[in-house]
Structure 1
Amino acid sequence: MTSATAMTTALPPEQRPPLMRLAREVAFETGTRLFEEGRRADRFWIVRTGTVALDLHVPGRRPAVIETLGHGELVGWSWHFPPYLWHLGAEATSPVRAWEFDAGSVRAMCAADPEFGRAIATWVGRVAAQRLHASRVRLLDLYAPYGSGGPA
């Protein structure tokens, strides 16, 4: 996790309480699919404990794990951008406790309070950029002739 993507450092302190008022505590057992690529993105989570793997469907193969998320990290960013469809899949790789948020309620708060909306958009944008970079690196590692070119 990078400090730029953890909710506790990415959102200004005054913007955290309004978001957390919408939180609902949930738990997932190991192996539970939180969402599937291409399906409707109507909620998101912040991990409290445990780990969640983000994966990408690869025809004829097992899903490629792109990144593993843990404490304080945002699971799901597709809820923030139309057409609100998941770009990846997600599965609990250990027992997970998380805060769950209804995407429509958070988007409504963003529309009603431009400062809150800007803070959320900046946070989610940073997460999306970081996840896209992680996806690129992982796919290069898996499929490029010489990997991502990083140090061995």
Structure 2
Amino acid sequence: MSLYWFGNCRTEEQRAEMERLDRAGVCLFCPDVIRSHEKQQIVRETAHWIVTPNEFPYAGARLHLLLIPKEHVTDLVELTAPARADLFEALSWVKDTHGLDHYGLGARNGDSRFTGGTIRHLHLHVLVGEGDADPDADGEFTPVRMKFSSRPPTR
């Protein structure tokens, strides 16, 4: 089974990068790969987590960070106890550093073909919408939407 599910790509650039990584047989979110990836900027590291901006942020997001466990798992319940506990250190750092008084947190667990995800390595999305900065602002508003389901093609 591939590390990537191409059916949920949002842009051609994202698909091309995932195909390149898939051909190389590497998981972008595993620590050695993400540390050497030219486009992934690590903004914080804890004992068990990496915090990085999403290279392909969702429409409407003024902040879109990923919390990525250093363990290669596909479900939150597969994390070791130390990694589960350390998640809150990473999340607290994000909240404090960005002065957040509200945010969304999304995680897809299991098989990417059904969850709306693209990569078979657990990661959590920290999302703040662009309209959240000024609720009285006039103009176009794009709500942040995170896909939590998909249907793979039948063969």
**TM (normalized to structure 1)?**
0.26
Larger strand percent? 1
Larger helix percent? 1
